[in-house]
Amino acid sequence: MITLYGFKQAYGLIDANPFVLKVDAFLRMAKLPYKLTSSVAYLRKSLNGKLPFIEDGDAKIGDSSLIFEYLNQKPDVTLNDWLSAEPRAQAYLIGKSLDENFYWCLLYSRWICDDNWPKTRQVFLIICPFHSARLYGLRCAG
């Protein structure tokens, strides 16, 4: 069984990290059996110091893009089989655009917007309690 490692449930979602959400959604759509295990402590166990990562038997794969490449190699994963080369390339472009651009909008809304800052501080104090002094005292300036 695949194990997906993430941070922690937050904002009414299964994880605060959009990349963990993305891998979770892929695993559910592909109907692959998996379990989600969440703790910031898994950062130490990951290959690149980031979450998400998965373990599948002896394989350990980090980074959502690499996870998708790995999972798409499985014979029972057929999510993109119906796409020809052009729509597959378009899907890749849209996904990368969201990863590289929309992600920064999310960060801005969490860490910079005054209306959202109290909720962000509350959520991340629970997820990363060892950073609590920094989060209470410092914050990005807009």
The domain over range 1-82 is classified in CATH as 3.90.79.10 = no
- Residues in CB range of 126: below 8 A, 6 or more apart: 8, 10
Residue-wise pLDDT tens digits, 68-96: 999 999 988 988 888 899 998 998 899 88
What's the N-to-C CA distance of the chain in angstroms? 44
Residue 141: predicted pLDDT? 42
Question: Phi/psi of residue 7, each to 5°?
Answer: -85, -75
Question: Domain spans of the chain?
Answer: 1-82, 83-142
Tens of pLDDT along 27-60?
A: 999 999 999 999 888 888 888 888 999 999 999 9
Task: Tell me which residue of 3, 88, 97, 84 sits closest to 51, measured CA to CA.
Answer: 3
Long-range contact set of residues 65-70: C-beta below 8 Å, sequence gap at least 24: 65/99, 67/23, 67/26, 68/23, 68/26
Token pair for 120: 């962000």
| Largest separation between any pair of C-alpha atoms in the chain | 52
- Res 16 pLDDT > 90: no
